Structure 1
Amino acid sequence: MRALNKKRVLVTGGAGFLGSHLCERLLEQDCDVLCADNYFTGSRDNVAHLLGNPHFELMRHDVTFPLYVEVDEIYNLACPASPIHYQHDPVQTTKTSVHGAINMLGLAKRLNAKIFQASTSEVYGDPAVHPQPEEYWGNVNTIGPRACYDEGKRCAETLFFDYHRQHRLPIKVIRIFNTYGPRMHPNDGRVVSNFIMQALKGEPITVYGDGSQTRSFCYVDDLIEGFLRFMAAPAGVTGPLNLGNPGEFTMIELAEMVIRLTRSASRIEHRPLPQDDPKQRRPDITKAKALLNWEPRVPLEDGLGRTIAYFRNRFFA
């Protein structure tokens, strides 16, 4: 029997890149952790080192189906987050965001549990406002190839706030900007993992368009710290809240940094820009600084060094 004062926390998508790091931190905070994942993009390997911990439980489950468990808090991270994966089955991606939100909100309502939604900067689409504050409503193509993810996450946010208003459910909604670090999927199609894998293989670094489009990159440890601070914030602090690194880099700058850090002989190769690819993406984290006293601390070069070491040891040892 678990101690009466020990918090039991459900993490959906807990065997994924972000989820596995979150499970680690929750265990460090002396929580009982229930990790649920259907392994579409997550992997048992990401949490294998936690399986011997008596306070960690791993369950194979798809959030598009109801889940009947007893927990105190819920972190809803379940959804493929890279274009290659979420465009593989776009209908299922929308279901994961929408049905998954409905099922987890229903569980939270039954338990009166605090629930956290991992939303995304993709709700801003190809932004006409830069950097993007939480008040910006976005510029999203509702029928484009990225809409299954963008609109699914937007609908999930709507559901969270309607449950909050209608049922007084305690919610926390985070909008995550580009995050990177160890345990990223090597073939997820996202720019950091793409560039690192290509550089380590000595293949051309594929840059889409002229490489002038920008992104902001937050190291995973910084992001998870933001998750935990936000979940611990007073009930009235619901979000949505941007979490990300306001440092802005062009794709060319990132490619050159990866080539230098890997000591690769790879050259840069330009490809056509994909449809609806945002030209710029940078968070306004004024609210996160004020509400959580949070801002990223890991510089891009340091974080890339740690991520490159992980990829090299995991896939090239």
Structure 2
Amino acid sequence: MDPGFPLPERACRADGQSRLVGFELEFAGLSPDGAADAIQEVFGGEVRRESRFVNRVCDTAWGEFKVEVDARVLKERSYRSLLTQMGFNLEPETLDNLDEQVLRLASTVVPVEVVTPPVPVTEAGQIESLREALRRRLAQGTRAGLMYAFGLHLNPELPDLEVDTLRSTLQAYLLLLPWLKWRDDTDAVRRLTPFIQDFPAEYVRQVLRPGYRPDQHAFIRDFLAWNTTRNRSLDLLPLLTHLDRDQVRRALPDDPLTQARPTWHYRLPNCLVDDPDWRIARPWVDWLMVERLAGNGSLLEQLISDWLARGFSLTDQRWIQHVDRCLARSGR
């Protein structure tokens, strides 16, 4: 275990096996080929190129990494079909050149994304070696361009799937979200994009009301009543699909892309991969504070009570200061 990349308080699942975590890093300035080379340098494996927009690095110790340009129209190269429908039957070499030009144009706004396989939390600190390899190859992070709304996504597996774990973790996240934004200094452009929207105020009040103790069906029902989108800073749809695919599909019949997995999908942090002082461990430690608060029932209840009784707004600087003091007293 890397001491700079601490373990969760609950590092194992209920079956005694290590919890897993996946990472998704978004950046510009480096092609999918270059990103695949960085992965191979650090973790070995075999690079398999599917197109100019998608690569896989297979047979690493952790499994398969995926590198892709994060836009469906590019990954599927649907513009090729459009040209065919218009009567343009281009030679393969011309199509390859077209792909290259599309990739060059798209790179100003569409990130390249590295998606890791799930890795044991005891080994997760090794991800810093990949971050450094990407930096050396001049990958550009969130603040390298005015319109770079790039993020780092963390996908930590839950220690168990009990509804009380789901509820308490979500409550902790809602209470800490302004503090997390302050800690991460979430980029202004990213806040303006639709990708990390806040939860609706009505839903926040529902989840933080006294005595909120839903069963699993009610927890999923309440979430879907206000959140029929993945564009939340904490995306629950993969987890809820894992728990009850039918219930989610009834609410979202036109969402074929969400893959079921027993993880949170934490989308808030910036990806400052070009900053030599930045570490993935920083947002990881912040996420662990969410889990720590969720496991501290008395502090969680105190913060819910404070928020209700004192009339704080979760966007209020006073709330951030209050949370910071409470976490400090709890020995963060």
After TM superposition, the score normalised by the length of structure 1 is 0.29
The structure that is strand-richer by fraction is: 1
The structure that is helix-richer by fraction is: 2
Looking at CA atoms only, which structure, 1 or 2, has the larger radius of gyration? 2
**Relative CO higher for 1 or 2, CA cutoff 8 Å, sep ≥ 6?**
2
